């Protein structure tokens, strides 16, 4: 999951990892730690491109199958022949390769990849990724793939610290792209600071430690996110202020950890997290249908959506007009189905996680909801007063039968990674009995 001051040993290989936050020291590889992982290595322009040759060797030693894509600028520093010899596969560098593109080779590469790693990732490459550019083979692949994407920045320390670069990195992180490094130290320009690309062995260890081989591999997660809208007439609806950011961040974090993720999304204007299957809905009834169609095939259900409790008994076929002589408007409301309770009551059922957005007595109300709906875990937070909804940060109180943990306020991407780690741990305990 999200790297943070940890040391550990992985199955299938022994590797000592320490984070500061992403300094990884490889003591020894006793066996392959990325067995069968299909790594599409993108190399962008910069003097650190020479390190990518060693990275290919390290990835193959770790058991990965590697294909390399060079940007036009990268080819000025290193040759395609070098990477072809090291990877054992043809190297691609252009969208205008007639032989490859005759069979839509860029789409084939995008589908082949199990993990995309761009190392080095220059400031220009990060900017183009953040803005969704598709002006060369490498950026086109990143838009076309459903595989997790990781970048290893490499640039002058002033370029790394520039607000534009930091904004681009924040944008990529919010979309689920993992940022590995950079490290601090001397640079090719003769200066020193943060901006060095991590060493090849560090990147291989980071991929293994952060879930590229799948800490949640084989698990199927179902996540609901966003609000629901209940139509009053063709132009008006009852809704709420949920932005969907927390649910989308959870889906991205679970996918990055190796899970197969289906995201049921209410009406939000958010990009689909890479590698997830998205089902768009509008009303609570539609969300219920979508969730129930998927839940029997899911190991974990995270109900992060802010589902409306009520809907109009009947939506008007035409827009209400002031000229109709109404001095007011009375609506007859009926209760929406309780999707979370319905899933929790199923047998068998997945590991069920609910959310409690409260304006007062947060813990008391959350505890009551946990017990009443027989949930495995509930994540509670205070909303209103500029908290919770329509923000980039949040804090959560986690409650489960016999346990409690508070997650401090931080950005929702980081918070989602922490929450997914807790869910995985609690589910593992439950499965183990």
337 lies in the same domain as 416: yes
CA nearest 67: which of 8, 1, 111, 11? 111
Structure tokens given for 250: 């959870």
Work out how many domains the chain is built from and give that number: 2
The answer to whether residues 362 and 397 touch, using CB atoms and an 8 Å cutoff, is yes
Average pLDDT over residues 75-94: 91
Q: Is 25 a catalytic residue?
A: no
132 lies in the same domain as 247: no
Task: Please report which confidence band the pLDDT of residue 273 belongs to, taking 50, 70 and 90 as the band edges.
Answer: confident
Which of 58-62, 310-314, 318-322, 342-346 has the least mean pLDDT? 318-322
Of 25, 142, 171, 189, which residue is the catalytic one?
Answer: 189
Question: 295-322, pLDDT tens digit by residue?
Answer: 999 999 999 999 988 888 887 787 877 7
Helix (H, G, I), strand (E, B) or coil at 229: coil
The answer to whether residues 53 and 86 touch, using CB atoms and an 8 Å cutoff, is yes
417 lies in the same domain as 284: yes
Cβ atoms within 10 Å of 305's Cβ, excluding its own? 27
In a domain? residue 5: no
In a domain? residue 4: no
230 lies in the same domain as 202: no
In a domain? residue 425: yes
Domain end residue (candidates: 183, 209, 235): 209
190 lies in the same domain as 246: no
Query: How far is residue 90 from each of residues 43, 69, 76, 185, measured CA to CA in Å?
Result: 14, 9, 18, 34
Name the maximum alpha-carbon separation found in the chain: 81
196 lies in the same domain as 237: no
How far apart CA 381 and CA 396 sit, in angstroms, is: 5
Asked if pLDDT for residue 193 goes beyond 90, the answer is no
205 lies in the same domain as 226: no
The answer to whether residues 378 and 351 touch, using CB atoms and an 8 Å cutoff, is no
Report pLDDT for 28.
36
Task: Please report which confidence band the pLDDT of residue 381 belongs to, taking 50, 70 and 90 as the band edges.
Answer: confident
Task: Please report which confidence band the pLDDT of residue 212 belongs to, taking 50, 70 and 90 as the band edges.
Answer: very low
Q: What's the domain range around 180?
A: 38-209
Question: 17-53, pLDDT tens digit by residue?
Answer: 333 333 333 333 334 577 778 899 999 998 999 999 9
Question: 110-166, pLDDT tens digit by residue?
Answer: 888 888 999 999 999 999 999 999 989 999 999 988 788 999 999 999 999 999 999
């Amino acid at each position: 999951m999200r790297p943070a001051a940890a040391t550990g040993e992985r199955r299938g290989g022994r590797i000592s990892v320490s984070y500061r936050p992403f300094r990884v020291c490889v003591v020894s590889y006793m066996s392959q730690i990325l067995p069968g992982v299909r790594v599409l290595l993108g190399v962008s322009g910069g003097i650190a491109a020479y390190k990518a040759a060693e990275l290919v060797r390290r990835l193959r030693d770790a058991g990965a199958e590697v294909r390399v894509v060079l940007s036009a600028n990268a080819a000025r520093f290193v040759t395609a022949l070098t990477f072809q010899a090291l990877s054992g596969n043809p190297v691609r560098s252009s969208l205008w390769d007639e032989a490859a593109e005759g069979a839509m080779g860029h789409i084939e590469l995008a589908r082949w990849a199990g993990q995309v790693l761009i190392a080095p990732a220059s400031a220009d490459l990060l900017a183009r990724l953040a803005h969704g550019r598709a002006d060369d083979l490498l950026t086109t692949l990143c838009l076309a793939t459903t595989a997790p994407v990781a970048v290893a920045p490499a640039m002058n320390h002033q370029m790394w610290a520039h607000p534009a670069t930091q904004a681009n990195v924040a944008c990529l992180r919010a979309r689920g792209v993992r940022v590995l490094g950079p490290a601090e130290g001397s640079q090719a320009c003769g200066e020193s600071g943060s901006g060095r690309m991590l060493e090849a062995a560090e990147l291989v260890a980071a991929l293994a430690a952060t879930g590229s081989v799948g800490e949640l591999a084989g698990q199927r997660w179902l996540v609901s996110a966003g609000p629901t809208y209940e139509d009053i007439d063709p132009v008006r609806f009852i809704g709420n202020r949920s932005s969907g950011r927390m649910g989308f961040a959870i889906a991205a974090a679970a996918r990055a950890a190796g899970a197969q993720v289906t995201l049921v999304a209410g009406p939000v204007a958010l990009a689909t997290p890479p590698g997830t299957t998205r089902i768009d809905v509008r009303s609570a009834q539609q969300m219920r249908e979508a969730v129930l169609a998927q839940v029997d095939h899911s190991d974990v259900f995270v109900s992060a959506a802010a589902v409306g409790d009520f809907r109009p008994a009947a939506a008007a076929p035409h827009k209400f007009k002031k000229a109709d002589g109404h001095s007011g408007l009375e609506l007859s409301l009926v209760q929406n189905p309780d999707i979370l309770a319905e899933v929790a009551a199923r047998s068998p059922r997945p590991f069920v996680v609910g959310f409690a957005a409260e304006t007062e007595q947060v813990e008391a109300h959350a505890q009551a909801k946990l017990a009443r709906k027989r949930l495995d875990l509930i994540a509670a937070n205070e909303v209103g007063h500029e908290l919770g909804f329509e923000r980039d940060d949040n804090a959560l109180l986690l409650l489960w039968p016999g346990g409690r943990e508070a997650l401090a306020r931080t950005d929702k991407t980081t918070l989602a990674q922490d929450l997914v780690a807790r869910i995985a741990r609690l589910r593992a305990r439950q499965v183990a009995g």
